[in-house]
Amino acid sequence: MNITALENKILKYLSKYTKTTKEIEEAIIESSFFKTFKKGTILLKEGGFSNECYFVLEGCMRSYFLKDGEEKTIEFYTEEDIVTPANYGKSTPSQYYLECIEDTIVNVGNPSIEKEMYQKYPQLESLSRVIAEVILTKQQESFTEFKTSSPEERYLNLLKTKPDLMQRVPQHQIASYLGIKPESLSRIRKRLIASNLLS
């Protein structure tokens, strides 16, 4: 994918939330900074520091942490997801890992670019507030959904909201994301197939 196509993806995303002016579009493009990571790249380690946030243009990242030597998947990030590590721009060490589980192309942000852009274009700060609130609401809904669903319901919901994830991610990572053991996920899948809820 060429640079212009990547830039257009960013502008398309932003246009969902605001009417940008030509000037702002040019500013965004001017400050856009792309990076490509190979599958398997670890972008952040437990105990490490984070000075970058990402907008995923192509590919898939996964956050996870180690508990008693086992990887517990927290989140998957695919196209149009924003990845802001909890310790981004702070002096606190990360509690988790961030890994590219596919070749991944991102737009990179960092605190100094952000600060400069907000000063130059206050409208961008307004846009960031709107986007932060949208993400907050989505996350609140995911948390509620997770807390109040059975593993089977969580699996069905994931199939509905991120159907492509099943083809992109190993089953054991999906299981740990759902908070269950791989054997339990196999049982759930068998049960759903038997009752014709899954093909």
Q: Which residues bind a copy of itself (CB under 8 A)?
A: 65, 67, 72, 74, 84, 86, 95-96, 118, 122, 125-126, 128-129, 132-133, 135-137, 139-144, 146-148, 179
* CA torsion through residues 115, 34, 28, 99, sign: negative
Q: How far is the CB of 194 from a copy of itself (least distance, A)?
A: 23
DSSP string, 40-73: T-EEE-TT--B--EEEEEES-EEEEEEETTEEEE
**Closer by beta carbon to a copy of itself, 150 or else 186:** 150
Which CB, 15 or 139, lies closer to a copy of itself? Answer: 139
Nearest residue to 171 via CA among 157, 150, 189, 153: 189
Helix (H) or strand (E) holding 20: none
Per-residue b or e along 127-145, where b marks 16 or more CB atoms closer than 10 Å to that residue's CB: beeebeeeeeeeeeeeeee
Nearest approach, Cβ of 88 to a copy of itself (angstroms)? 8
Nearer to a copy of itself, 86 or 193 (CB): 86
Q: Of 20, 98, 10, give the one whose Cα is nearest residue 62.
A: 98
Q: How far is the CB of 20 from a copy of itself (least distance, A)?
A: 16
Return the number of the residue (37 or 96) whose C-beta is nearest a copy of itself: 96
Q: Which is nearer to a copy of itself, 3 or 133 (CB)?
A: 133
Shortest approach of a copy of itself to residue 126 CB, angstroms? 5
